[in-house]
Amino acid sequence: RQEQFRALRAIEPVTKDGQRISLMMNAGLLVDLPQLSESGAEGIGLFRTELQFMIASTMPKADEQEQFYRNVIKQAAGRVVTFRTLDIGGDKVVPYFRGHEEENPALGWRAIRLSLDRPGLLRTQLRALLKASADTELKLMVPMVTEVSELRMVRELLQKEVQHLSRFGHGLPRKLQFGAMLEVPALLWQLDELMEAVDFVSVGSNDLFQFSMAVDRGNARVSDRFDPLGKPFLRILRDIVRGADRNKTPVTLCGELAGKPLSAMALLGIGFRAISMSPASIGPVKAMLLGLDVEALAKVMDEVLDDHRSTVTMREVLARFAESH
């Protein structure tokens, strides 16, 4: 099967009914980069920048960060890289960066909250990313956004760094795309403001599922209790796609859900046209979509999702569809 998937590398990811799907991969270290051409991914949909911090024994210095991003961009060889700003805290522990003991770290001082409270840290990272992307395109996104106002604050810092660099004659990115991760349910009631405030949105389904269903993603006792392919979560995801489409904002999903063929099929069925996953999943997901009639699936899924009386599970519906097509 491995061989079969390799043979698919050069084949365009287009569904049976002609929908072009963007298949991207997740990464976080230089060792991941060769997987880009190995897997045939179109680009990197999620680059977890905190990994450089997590494997270091001291805080990476500004020039170390810049050099690292330069190497990533160079090895990506023209393919798009979506850098996520530091997502420290919660399940992502950086040993030398100790905050306070927290009773609920997942709900605590983490990600963009921490970055906004330590603007020096964020500005250093933004500057390193801008410098490393001189004369290329920089695609950047912010984790764990809760209120759209947080994005404005990051944009202001970003603008300051751009001005600073241009004042000192540094090269700047040819194009800058600014996005948000959607992984906190509060954003579901700010969809239109959110879509307007960014160039793109990426759904972090691992955290969005954890927060929507109130199940700790790291607690095996409850993490499998509810199905991410159940109706509540699929309706949430469908609302996000509708909000993005309504505002013509590109939307992608980069959580684990994207990497399982049946789940990926469901994501396409509710309207996603771009997903990002671990490189090993690209082949199996591509094999699935080449034979998929996504319009037919969308119809079946919408019917079940809109029927409040139906007791059939979405997983049954999806499995049946996969079998009969």
Q: Which residues bind ligand PEP (CB under 6 A)?
A: 46, 48, 87, 183, 204-207, 254-255
Q: Burial, 131: exposed, middle or buried (Cβ in 10 Å; 0-12, 13-18, 19+)?
A: buried
Cα separation, 267 vs 265, whole angstroms: 5
Least distance (Å) between residue 27 CB and Mg ion = 15
Region class of 40: left (phi > 0), else alpha (psi between -120 and 50), else beta: left
Tokens encoding 299 = 């119809």
Residue with tokens 């992608």: 252
Nearer of residues 86 and 165 to ligand PEP, judged by Cβ: 86
Nearer of residues 121 and 297 to ligand PEP, judged by Cβ: 121
Under 8 Å CB-to-CB from 6, ≥6 apart: which residues? 283
Q: How many CB atoms lie within 10 A of CB 72?
A: 22
43 interacts with Mg ion by CB under 5 A: no
Stretch of 122-130, 199-207, 298-306, 316-324 contacting Mg ion, by CB under 5 A: 199-207
Nearer of residues 204 and 271 to Mg ion, judged by Cβ: 204
Q: How many residues bind Mg ion (CB under 5 A)?
A: 3
Least distance (Å) between residue 300 CB and ligand PEP = 26
User: Which residue, 109, 123, 115, is CA-closest to 150?
Assistant: 115
Least distance (Å) between residue 26 CB and ligand PEP = 7
204 interacts with Mg ion by CB under 5 A: yes
Tokens encoding 242 = 């509708």
Least distance (Å) between residue 206 CB and Mg ion = 5
Stretch of 20-28, 156-164, 203-211, 222-230 contacting Mg ion, by CB under 5 A: 203-211
Least distance (Å) between residue 301 CB and ligand PEP = 21
Which 3 state secondary structure label does DSSP give 273? coil
Nearer of residues 243 and 259 to ligand PEP, judged by Cβ: 259
H helix intervals, 168-293: 191-197, 205-213, 220-223, 231-247, 261-269, 279-290
- The contact set with Mg ion (CB under 5 A) reads 183, 204, 207
